[in-house]
Structure 1
Amino acid sequence: MTSGISPAAERTTRFHTSAAANLRLRQLFDRGARVLPLLVDRPTASGLDSDTASAYGQVARAGVALDSIDDMRVLLGGIPLDKVSLSLSVDAAAAPLILLYQLVAQEHGVPAERLRGSVRNDVLKEFITPDGTCLFPPAPSMRLTRDLLRYCRTALPRWDVVSVCGHELAEAGADPAQEVAFALANGIAYVRTAVTAGVFVPRLTFCLSGGGNQAEVLAKFRAARRIWARVMTEHFGPDLAGRAVLRRHVPSPWSLAATRTGRPWLRADASLEIETAALRLMHSIERIGGAVRAVECRFQSTALPPDSRVPGPGLQAPGPEAHAAHLRQSERLAKLRAWRVQPSVDDALARLREAAEGDRNVMFPMRSALAASATVGEICETLRGVWGAYQPLPGRR
């Protein structure tokens, strides 16, 4: 596990249309960038189609709307996909978006084994942070992560499928010990899921907050490295322990990580103190039954201070531009549904439902449904019909 500054190529790209995002991505490639960052809008990240009532005002805001294979075709047009790596910032809806990327790459003539990319896919973190996008309850969410790991092992071997986002926990109010404990506990849960599924995890990325006092940051990273090496060696052996990357997240100006107050970890080396406190929290999570069970009990979220997130720049109330984006994507979806072969879509979604009801990998029928022009919203709604939708308890997550 090593630490370092995240490269500039990881900065997310924010554009309103897939055509505009395509133009920007091609400009980045022409300037020498080979890691292309992509951020999707809130409805896409939440598994909702742009024409749903709850998506109004959020379509194509602070990210690209990707409803179907049509949108992905526009987004990736003219980009040599065998020469770039896509950095996709999405969690719960990662699976259908990765499949759309693969399907369009096949249309470009690029074999799946030559595709490179990474996706955040830190679903457990979404249940802890106040504004997380949770599509399904924790256990089915981890089932989908398991199926995605299995699928990418053979179909997309050069994709990194999980990046644990400790910095978002810090922005939600976690102190250094809580950030380390909750992030590493989530990482252990992902490794357990992979090992149980018979999948070797080649690399797990941890992105911890780099904001605040630098002595505190260095101490936090030292503590995280020691804890990870010890826990992974004890539970899984030294091979897996040595295959993780610890990165430093540079916070936005409004990030809580840069302004958080609370317990000062300001001694020359507070790493032992952070390590002791983090291990205490991790032992509590293990006694509950692991990170997934702890999330179900809201152990992590209730440990964070309430209303601790520092407001960011925010989004303005929906105006003409938001209405135009909603109308544009709704028209695209209407045309898609008019042109596609609906019986093929219905059959593919039925096979996806059957796989979700059993234990077969849902990625294969999901790929067939997306190839038949099923939408991301229809995919997620089919899975919600089997697994249920996440219903947070009253109060904080």
Structure 2
Amino acid sequence: MVSGERVKEWENKVLATWLSKRKERKSKFITPSGIEVKPLYTPLDVKGDYEEKIGFPGDYPFTRGIYPNMYRGRIWTIRQYAGFGSSEDTNLRFRKLLEAGQTGLSMAFDLPTQLGLDPDHVLAYTEVGVVGVSMFHWKEMDLVMNSIPLDKVSTSMTINATAMELLSMYIATAERRGISQAQLDGTVQNDILKEYIARKNFIYPPEPSMRYAVDIIEYSYKNVPKWHPISISGYHIREAGADAVLEVAFTLADGIEYVRRTLERGIPVDDFAPTLSFFFAGYTNLFEEVAKFRAARRMWAKIMRDMFNAKKPDSMTLKFHTQTGGAELTAQQPEINIIRTTIQALAAALGGTQSLHVNSYDEAVALPSEKAAKIAIRVQQIVAYESGVTETVDPLAGSYYVEWLTDEIEERAWKVIERIEGMGGMMKAIERAYPQAEIAESAYRLQKRIEEGDMVKVGVNMSYEPDWIGTTEVFRVNPEVRERVIQRLKKYRSDRDEIKFRDSLNNLRKVAEKENVNMVPYVLDAIKKGATVGEISSTLREVWGEYREPIIF
């Protein structure tokens, strides 16, 4: 066993002698999260009992993974985030991605859909189909899922403030095809807290929005048992400028808040906790990212066991999707983003992700082209089948550096969570703008390091080439999409039974005014009666109002 004296001897004799002749590149080596890295780690840096801190995969505290044999049994779900224009456009892209090797769908929606506006709304006009598919009526969901078996493919929908409407559309589409709710597999993001913290695509004030989110959790575990009713999302927190520590801390603090609110319904924790899922970013600093994933998994296991008295192992497992870092992509020399995303995908695999999206190299320029999206799938396949990292479980476990860094991230994240708990939980912290301010400060620190050259960004502050001639194909959404979907919207409205439609919205309005009735059946009924996303959202706006966030600077 190495001793402290032996380490000191090496530092003073071997390392110091070497450095007296050959200086290091920097005075300090610091991770993007501000963690200083030593030149060497030894067994002395790894604290705690092996079973308590690291353990075995598939067993508490799940540091090494949530399944005993991980990718030796099944590779993560290759789930590329896609969607643009009309339902037909997105359906075609989905089918091409599935043909290329994608194993699960991930649907992107345009901003009007996310904010509860129909495509003919004056505020929606210029954004129809631009950053995702325009999805305003359940028959559009039927079109986007044309020739795709809903009972055989899992679908993730990145939707929050209108998650209930989109889930209802998916259910209505399935039932029209004779597929029961119990057969459906997938996820709605439904994480409204991170919208207030980072992404800002909220509609209603926090309290009714939390009721809305928990209604989906309650309904899904009872009626759509294979469905993940929430994806508690650190990704957008990281993309807004948070470092890895804040990403873990704020995401898990959000998770604590959702669990508390669901427990207040009188639902036993072991009934719904296994359906919860998470969503993290995968950035380029390989070891920090791997350590982040391992720390988050261990922390969530402790939270569920010790804070909420969960008994089932499945209730303590942190199941998560990873998307590579969009904010790390550069418009300069876009092709080199393939290298960045490959490292990020490798970090996700080494960190034990359950599903993965690899950003296309052109996403700093435009929506992904078909070619770039296919290359992103190939990145996943090469990591999965050629790199060798999937052949043993948690291959970086036991690395003195990785285990030390896992501990360090966990320790720092606990301090942030303790501060949030001291404020009364994440809802109270959001009201005080604590996470918003912390993310802004983190973003400033990171940008300053890039501008000062302390943090290298190849193609930006190193090896910058203004005359770089790339071969990037810039993808553009067909501007005819807007008129096409608006015409279909008019037809949907003219074809529906107006009395039944009005009655369904009136019933929803009455339920929204109450606090102890789950709204999902009423939204589902309105969807089946022909109501649009904009009409349902307008009804809820009348009852709940719209949220205006506080100014924090």
Flag whether TM exceeds 0.5 (same fold): yes
* Alignment match of 2:484 (pick from 303, 325, 328): 328
Measure, in 1, the Cα distance between the counterparts of 2:424 and 2:118: 35
- Count of paired positions: 379
1:7 positional shift = 4.3
Give the aligned partner of residue 263 of structure 1: none
1:244 aligned to 2:379? no
Contact 1:171 1:255 in 2 (8 A): no
1:286 aligned to 2:416? no
The C-alpha deviation readout for 1:199-247, integer Å capped at 9, x for no partner, is 5222332232321322222332333233222222111124365232245
Give the AA of the match of 1:281: V
Measure, in 2, the Cα distance between the counterparts of 1:86 and 1:109: 18
1:388 aligned to 2:388? no
Of 47-56 and 161-170, deviating more is 161-170
Give the aligned partner of residue 66 of structure 1: 135
Give the aligned partner of residue 224 of structure 2: 156
Q: Structure 1 residues 201 and 227, CA, compared in 2 at 3 Å: closer, same or farther?
A: closer
Q: How does 1:12-27 map to 2 (within 5 A)?
A: 12-27=81-96
Measure, in 2, the Cα distance between the counterparts of 1:394 and 1:100: 36
Measure, in 2, the Cα distance between the counterparts of 1:118 and 1:247: 10
Q: Structure 1 residues 249 and 325, CA, compared in 2 at 3 Å: closer, same or farther?
A: closer
Give the aligned partner of residue 87 of structure 1: 156
Which consecutive unaligned segments of at least 5 residues does structure 2 have?
A: 1-61, 331-339, 342-399, 448-475
Measure, in 1, the Cα distance between the counterparts of 2:166 and 2:258: 20
Q: Structure 1 residues 226 and 254, CA, compared in 2 at 3 Å: closer, same or farther?
A: closer
1:112 positional shift = 1.5
Give the aligned partner of residue 46 of structure 2: none
Measure, in 1, the Cα distance between the counterparts of 2:216 and 2:108: 20
1:294 positional shift = 1.6
Q: Structure 1 residues 247 and 150, CA, compared in 2 at 3 Å: closer, same or farther?
A: closer
The C-alpha deviation readout for 1:269-289, integer Å capped at 9, x for no partner, is 333332222112111111211
Give the 3-state SS of the residue equivalent to 1:50 in structure 2.
coil
Q: Structure 1 residues 304 and 252, CA, compared in 2 at 3 Å: closer, same or farther?
A: closer
1:13 positional shift = 1.4
1:172 aligned to 2:240? yes
* Alignment match of 2:284 (pick from 212, 230, 245): 212
Give the 3-state SS of the residue equivalent to 1:37 in structure 2.
strand
Contact 1:90 1:121 in 2 (8 A): yes
Say which one has the larger Rg: 2
Q: Structure 1 residues 347 and 246, CA, compared in 2 at 3 Å: closer, same or farther?
A: closer
Give the aligned partner of residue 349 of structure 2: none
Give the aligned partner of residue 275 of structure 1: 410
Q: Structure 1 residues 391 and 74, CA, compared in 2 at 3 Å: closer, same or farther?
A: same
Give the 3-state SS of the residue equivalent to 1:77 in structure 2.
coil
Give the aligned partner of residue 135 of structure 1: 203
Measure, in 2, the Cα distance between the counterparts of 1:204 and 1:338: 39
Measure, in 1, the Cα distance between the counterparts of 2:522 and 2:323: 36
Give the AA of the match of 1:336: Y
Give the AA of the match of 2:425: G
The C-alpha deviation readout for 1:299-324, integer Å capped at 9, x for no partner, is 111112266598xxxxxxxx9944x3
The C-alpha deviation readout for 1:107-131, integer Å capped at 9, x for no partner, is 11111111111122221111111x4
* TM-score, L = length of structure 2: 0.64
Contact 1:204 1:243 in 2 (8 A): no
Give the aligned partner of residue 313 of structure 1: none
Contact 1:172 1:304 in 2 (8 A): yes
Q: How does 1:1-397 map to 2 (within 5 A)?
A: 1=62, 2=65, 7=76, 9-29=78-98, 33-129=102-198, 131-197=199-265, 198=267, 200-239=272-311, 241-252=315-326, 254-255=328-329, 269-305=404-440, 321-322=478-479, 324-358=480-514, 359-395=516-552
More relative contact order, 1 or 2 (CA 8 Å, 6+ apart): 1
Contact 1:194 1:201 in 2 (8 A): no
Measure, in 2, the Cα distance between the counterparts of 1:79 and 1:270: 43
Of 224-233 and 29-38, deviating more is 29-38
Measure, in 1, the Cα distance between the counterparts of 2:517 and 2:235: 34
Contact 1:203 1:243 in 2 (8 A): no
The C-alpha deviation readout for 1:17-39, integer Å capped at 9, x for no partner, is 10122233344455665422211
Which consecutive unaligned segments of at least 5 residues does structure 1 have?
A: 260-265, 311-318
Measure, in 2, the Cα distance between the counterparts of 1:384 and 1:136: 7
1:298 positional shift = 1.6
Contact 1:88 1:118 in 2 (8 A): yes
Measure, in 2, the Cα distance between the counterparts of 1:186 and 1:31: 35
Contact 1:14 1:39 in 2 (8 A): yes
Give the AA of the match of 2:513: E
The C-alpha deviation readout for 1:177-218, integer Å capped at 9, x for no partner, is 211110100111122222222152223322323213222223
Q: Structure 1 residues 270 and 156, CA, compared in 2 at 3 Å: closer, same or farther?
A: same
Of 148-157 and 6-15, deviating more is 6-15
Percent sequence identity over aligned pairs? 34
Give the AA of the match of 1:369: A
Root-mean-square deviation (Å)? 2.7
Measure, in 2, the Cα distance between the counterparts of 1:77 and 1:305: 42
Give the AA of the match of 1:14: G
Contact 2:245 2:413 in 1 (8 A): yes
Contact 1:203 1:244 in 2 (8 A): no
The C-alpha deviation readout for 1:61-104, integer Å capped at 9, x for no partner, is 12110111221121222222211111212122111101111111
Give the 3-state SS of the residue equivalent to 2:301 in structure 1.
helix
Contact 1:34 1:83 in 2 (8 A): no
Measure, in 1, the Cα distance between the counterparts of 2:103 and 2:224: 18
* TM-score, L = length of structure 1: 0.87
Give the AA of the match of 1:201: A
1:106 positional shift = 0.8
